[in-house]
Amino acid sequence: MNHPCGLRTERNEPVPLKSVSVDVEVQGHVASVSSTLQYENQQSGPVEAIFTFPMDSSASVYRFLARIGGTEIEAQLRERQEAQEQYDDALSSGQQAFLLEESAESSDIFQLRVGSLPPGESASVSLAYVTELAVQADDALRFCLPIVLNPRYTPAGSQSVTSEVPGVSGDAVPYTLSLSVHIYSPSPIQSVQSNCVLTPLDFLSPDHTEAKISLSPDHKFDRDVEILLYYSQPHHPTAILEVGQSTASPGSLMGDTVAMLSLYPEFPAALQSSLASCGEFIFLVDRSGSMSCCMNQSRTSQSRIESARDTLLLLLKSLPMGCYFNIYGFGSRYDSFFPASVEYTQTTMESALQKVKSMEADLGGTEILQPLQEIYSKPCLPSHLRQLFVFTDGEVGNTKSVIDLVKRHALSHRCFTFGIGEGASSALVNGMAKHGSGHPQFITGADRLQSKVMQSLQFALQPAVKDISLQWNLPAGVSTTNLSPPINTLFPGQRALVYAQLTGQVDSCVTGSVSLLYALGEEVVKNDLTFSLTPKEDSSLLLHRLGARAAILAMEGDVSGGVDSGVKEKVVELSVQSGVSSSYTSFIAVNTESKQILKGPLRRRVTPVVFLKKCFYKRPPVLLNALSTPAEAPTFSGGGLFGGRIACRKSAKGFSSPKLGLSRSRSPVECDSFSPPEEKKSGDPMLDLIGLQKADGSWDLHQSLTSILGKQKEEVAKTMPGESPAVWATVLALLWLHGQKADFKDEWRFLAIKAISWIKAQSGVDVSKFVTAGNSLLGLQLEPQVLGL
């Protein structure tokens, strides 16, 4: 089937979007973004342009402007139904109108409607939003401009959140994108990296705390724009105060001072190193057709399901003895490895590994709600905290229903989520982790799923932090109102952002402080932060917008399974007062100054999805052809702000260093087709070695191990000191990992901890002799202390 290219209608007529320009201002850990979309109607009659686009779920839209000719119209926030009726009334009267609203089902999807654009007329639409920057495992702050809006799989009987959007090729998008970023950092900027080609980093201050950078003008619409910012002091706790709006009433959110706290809890080393030895670990793996897509653009790239299989291998080898576990796969249906969670033993581990090898992306759509209901229906095991790991490419249409389910069971488990591939729903991945007291991770391009999963496993093995609270120490007459929901989880090295409203007269000559208190194990920990009470002035009111969004999300989160009229009224009131969008409000603008009443039929122009050509699955997909879906399959479709996709999305991170003007970005290539996994080595010696480890952490001295070490079994046996082949094999495996795979230590560290514990438990063994002999055999010079021995 030939698909029309670019922004076209079903009659192959051009849709009027011509260009998109984006200006980003980063202030420490948050960013203010302004996007301008230029339209031009080249048709003979009036048109209505509809544009569905992704946005990070933490973003807060606070301004919406439309310009037609010499007239500028600033949109107002109204209750959602009222705004929609006003828009429809304007169109029916032949007036020009603009409507911007958040999806009622998923907070990371917005729809813009440009109505009654006259023939030959130009218009520009500007929207501004603020967003928090996520912290990565390597301490980078991540800004992402979403370009991909995946088709959202919509269960039968539900309404699609990404409907009416045809498919086009990503290299045929007829509009342009420009992006500039202005960075203000509290500490010197070390470097900036991106998966797209950027101009050289331009420092604007001698201390390197201010810089600018731009997107290369020849950017292709084949990936999200991802920028990583590295500061010299990424873990430095800070408190920033922003003065209120002079025209707003004192005592109101916009009239008072707002504080943003960036907290990095300092866990005592002894408590941080003591890992939990028990727990129930449940791994829920997406096996829908889209998991057959490649992880990135390289011809040798794994598919997502292959990466998931390797990750499950690492997880199964890294689990502590004495825990319980189970593995679920889901698509249009779901299944589990065991009827209920089983104790982690050599037998159950081997049984699970055999089943992992046969896992394929062959279960159709993405029905995540049913397996979650099944998991939560199982009783929790006494003294074994439930840890749920969810792997998905995040293409679901019932996001809020899923998050509500996780939230209802928040007290019984922790939920760690992994969004795989470009366009994974940030609302789903962030929402499940946030309401499940866990931690979200996004894996795009050349990221390794395994390293990020191991970081989350470290968090899961940490005892649950309890009784988290904030204590303010402020001058008399100054009170605080928390805008953020209560902190329900803390992890070492991970930032916690807190927004608070300060009411009363703030004396800029004094200081205040706040204490973060929490219980870890049997010990109560206290972290103090002292700060100046001098608020800064910012015309954009960035912190007020983010604080309002935090308060809105907290109120919206109090409603599950229905709409509470009292909560809805409060959300609408705060949304209108602060100018920040919500799921209950919409931006509406009507050009009342125009004297021209547009006549004639109004044609609708829908921005289509971008999908990549020649992107093949390892086996024919079941439910991923949005243009010819099987009769029994629920339908789904989508669109993107700067593109989207129907089927397989392949995008390599290919990070470039703008400071050096280098780039490793690659153009899209075909995914090779692969055969189902066979009973043979993976081709990765590290995974092959890990695959030989026993559940207790030890290795046996077999030919398969010695061949990975590059030695003959006879030579290895001849040089063995003492009469302990298992100890000898385990020491050699540890030496090889440290000597050959040190760069991947974050992936094998937990199975190494198990191995060390097993070695220390063996009586009458001189470990130093084994290490010395192993160094000699493998040509290494590693001390026992390096191995943890």
If one compares 447 and 736, the residue with the highest pLDDT of the two is 736
Torsion angle in degrees (nearest 10) through CA of 193, 196, 200, 202? -60
φ, ψ (nearest 5 deg) of residue 735: -60, -40
Q: Do 556 and 432 sit in the same domain of this protein?
A: no
Query: Could you say which of 558, 576, 594 is where a domain stops?
Result: 576
Q: Do 348 and 490 sit in the same domain of this protein?
A: no
Q: Do 406 and 432 sit in the same domain of this protein?
A: yes
Burial of 206 (0-12, 13-18, 19+ CB in 10 A): exposed
Show Cβ contacts of residue 240 under 8 Å, excluding neighbours closer than 6 positions: 28, 259, 260, 262, 536, 543
For residue 255, is it within any domain?
Answer: yes
Mean pLDDT (the chain) is 78
Find the range with the poorest average confidence among 22-31, 99-108, 364-373. 99-108
Do residues 37 and 17 touch, judged by C-beta distance below 8 A? yes
| Alpha carbon distances (Å) from 489 to 275, 485, 518, 543, 564 | 17, 11, 10, 23, 27
pLDDT > 70? residue 167: no
Mean pLDDT of all residues in 442-469? 83
Buried b / exposed e over 441-463, threshold 16 CB at 10 Å, is bbbbbbbbbbbbbbbbbbbbbbb
445 — pLDDT class (breaks 50, 70, 90):
low
| Alpha carbon distances (Å) from 612 to 233, 616, 644, 649, 651 | 40, 10, 9, 7, 10
β strands within 583-720, DSSP E: 585-590, 603-606, 609-611
Q: Do 473 and 456 sit in the same domain of this protein?
A: no
What pLDDT score does 336 carry?
Answer: 95
Q: Residue 295's domain is classified under what CATH number?
A: 3.40.50.410
pLDDT > 70? residue 466: yes
For residue 23, is it within any domain?
Answer: no
Q: Do 434 and 377 sit in the same domain of this protein?
A: yes
Tell me how far the alpha carbon of residue 295 is from its chain's centroid: 15
Nearest to 490 by CA among 750, 235, 266, 747: 266
Greatest mean pLDDT among 126-130, 232-236, 337-341? 337-341
Q: Do 436 and 341 sit in the same domain of this protein?
A: yes
Q: Do 264 and 283 sit in the same domain of this protein?
A: no
Find the range with the poorest average confidence among 150-164, 359-373, 537-551. 150-164
Q: Do 260 and 391 sit in the same domain of this protein?
A: no
242 CB-side CA count, 13 A? 22
Find the range with the poorest average confidence among 3-12, 311-320, 730-739. 3-12
If one compares 699 and 558, the residue with the highest pLDDT of the two is 699
What pLDDT score does 395 carry?
Answer: 66
Nearest to 153 by CA among 417, 363, 355: 363
Query: Could you say which of 523, 544, 576 is where a domain stops?
Result: 576
Report residue 632 as tokens: 């029994």
For residue 227, is it within any domain?
Answer: no
Domain of residue 267 covers: 240-271+465-576
Q: Do 407 and 509 sit in the same domain of this protein?
A: no
Q: Residue 482's domain is classified under what CATH number?
A: 2.60.40
Q: Do 490 and 529 sit in the same domain of this protein?
A: yes
Q: Do 256 and 303 sit in the same domain of this protein?
A: no
For residue 627, is it within any domain?
Answer: no
If one compares 272 and 328, the residue with the highest pLDDT of the two is 328
For residue 637, is it within any domain?
Answer: no
Mean pLDDT of all residues in 766-780? 92
For residue 37, is it within any domain?
Answer: no
Return the amino acid letter for 192: V
For residue 538, is it within any domain?
Answer: yes
pLDDT > 80? residue 371: yes
Q: Identify any residues that bridge with 356 across adjacent strands, giving them in sequence order.
A: none
What pLDDT score does 235 carry?
Answer: 78
Report residue 263 as tokens: 């907290």
For residue 343, is it within any domain?
Answer: yes
DSSP single-letter state for residue 504:
S
594 — pLDDT class (breaks 50, 70, 90):
low
Q: Do 706 and 773 sit in the same domain of this protein?
A: yes
Find the range with the poorest average confidence among 33-47, 138-152, 516-530, 535-549. 138-152
What pLDDT score does 158 carry?
Answer: 46
What pLDDT score does 616 carry?
Answer: 36
pLDDT > 80? residue 712: yes
For helices 725-740 and 767-778, the axis angle rounded to 10 degrees is 50
SS3 640: coil
What pLDDT score does 270 carry?
Answer: 62
Do residues 611 and 168 touch, judged by C-beta distance below 8 A? yes
Mean pLDDT of all residues in 379-401? 86
DSSP single-letter state for residue 338:
S
What pLDDT score does 345 carry?
Answer: 95
What pLDDT score does 387 carry?
Answer: 94
In the chain, the number of structural domains is: 3
Digit-coded pLDDT (tens) for 296-309? 666 667 788 988 99
pLDDT > 70? residue 159: no
What pLDDT score does 135 carry?
Answer: 83
Query: Could you say which of 527, 559, 576 is where a domain stops?
Result: 576
pLDDT > 50? residue 2: no
Percentage of the residues of the chain whose pLDDT score is greater than 70 = 78
